[in-house]
Chain A
């Protein structure tokens, strides 16, 4: 176990780097943070703590959705219209923020092949997956110490011949 004094040191270093990185880097402290982009993002979507969003799998939470993952998958599968164009293989990842009210925003889409190198899917597919993800309503804000916090979430869609084979994590 790491001693408390070590953690205090970690926190001080974290705070220090946080201040520095605001000036020089795209993220404040965590490399998964998603800064606001006026070309992509809804300005009405707000986060409680702009400089502190942590990944969903930290903080002892994991994926939390109303009705569990079963409901999440079933909602997506029911809405997904299988494309006419086959030969659509690989992964589409959508990263986004769930804010302190359990609302979602700042969606970022990445497309890649099974070799995990960037590739382009049929635009209709990625657009459809993005819209379905944006419409998901079962997310919950992370609660700790009687307050709610913002966090980073991602979903991975594994496609084989245009068929939605897996939704992860």
Chain B
């Protein structure tokens, strides 16, 4: 009984990654139809458990072309820092259905490993396949993948290219603004010395999603503009938001442009 209570306490958090697959499309192939049903039943198991892995292996054995099963099997390895095993399984999923799985592989290369070159390769390949400006969103749903592409270029010292990609994407009439888009664009402007544009972008971010990070970078920009009184107010606001947990945070990875308490306190001291 004790063990049940313990497990229920600890294991309620892992979330499941993939929606149910429509198995009716595979009805002509009885093995793949069965495998698909097995795959859909996988969600009864704790992700990363022996039962879950075995369930997915059985599905793969029945239907080696079921890309979702490789994908789902890979995720447990990713979350445990077992990247060689994750990549082998993800590569198989991508090989079978690149248009479906390239976005996830790219997103993980970026967010879990900061593997920018591989992220760019995958996203450019996806772009070639889809031939549309919009190529999808990151797994967390926070990011249009063009922002991820832009940040990857930025981190390979191609800031102008990064700005161009974000500006082009956000200029689209039906662009859906992500949770941190204006923040990243503002930081890019700040690092590029375009201070007025940076302030404008941070103000847009405040309208969209107020965070400790946006006040922190706004304060840094104002400090460069020698606007000390505004910088002080915004640095204090950054601290207030941070202390109230209104900040970038993920259990799985660190966000690009994410800040920490020490940085805010140092900035306040400088001002």
Contact = CB atoms under 8 A, between A and B. Distances in A.
A154 B253 contact: no
Interface stretch (A13-21, A120-128, A129-137): A13-21
Contacts of B76: 31-32
Nearest to B251: A62
Contacts of B263: 70
A94 to B, nearest CB: 8
A50 interface: no
A20 B40 CA distance: 23
A148 B180 CA distance: 35
Q: What is the size category of the interface that chain A forms with chain B?
A: 35 or more
Given A93-B81, A112-B83, A62 B46 contact: no
A20 B53 CA distance: 14
B249 A62 contact: yes
A32 B44 contact: no
Contact of A59 (B13, B80, B87): B13
B261 interface: yes
Contacts, number: 151
Contact of A67 (B43, B112, B262): B262
A37 B27 CA distance: 47
A164 interface: no
Q: What is the size category of the interface that chain B forms with chain A?
A: 35 or more
Contact of A13 (B8, B45, B117): B45
B7 interface: yes
Nearest to B266: A70
B228 interface: no
B80 A168 contact: no
A145 interface: yes
Given A10-B45, A31-B76, A168-B253, A15 B7 contact: yes
**SS class of chain A's interface: helix, strand, loop or mixed?**
mixed
A116 B3 CA distance: 37
A67 B87 CA distance: 32
A158 B11 contact: no
A7 B12 contact: yes
Interface in A64-95: 67-71, 91, 93, 95
Given A13-B44, A14-B7, A29 B80 contact: no
Contact of B113 (A13, A21, A62, A168): A168
Interface in A1-59: 2, 6-11, 13-18, 20-21, 25, 27, 29-32, 49, 52, 54-59
A155 B84 CA distance: 14
- The residue in A8, A29, A56 that gathers the most chain B C-beta atoms within 10 A of its C-beta is A29
B13 A58 contact: yes
Interface of A: 2, 6-11, 13-18, 20-21, 25, 27, 29-32, 49, 52, 54-63, 67-71, 91, 93, 95, 110, 112, 114-118, 144-145, 149, 152, 154-156, 158, 165-166, 168-169
17 contacts: A6-B44, A13-B45, A15-B3, A17-B54, A25-B50, A30-B46, A30-B48, A32-B79, A52-B10, A62-B249, A63-B254, A70-B262, A93-B83, A117-B87, A118-B84, A158-B114, A165-B114
Given A8-B8, A10-B44, A55-B79, 13 more contacts: A2-B43, A10-B45, A14-B45, A16-B51, A29-B50, A56-B251, A58-B11, A58-B251, A68-B260, A112-B84, A116-B83, A116-B87, A165-B114
The 10 closest A-B pairs by CB, nearest first: A154-B81, A32-B80, A62-B251, A116-B87, A17-B51, A70-B260, A21-B50, A57-B251, A68-B260, A166-B114
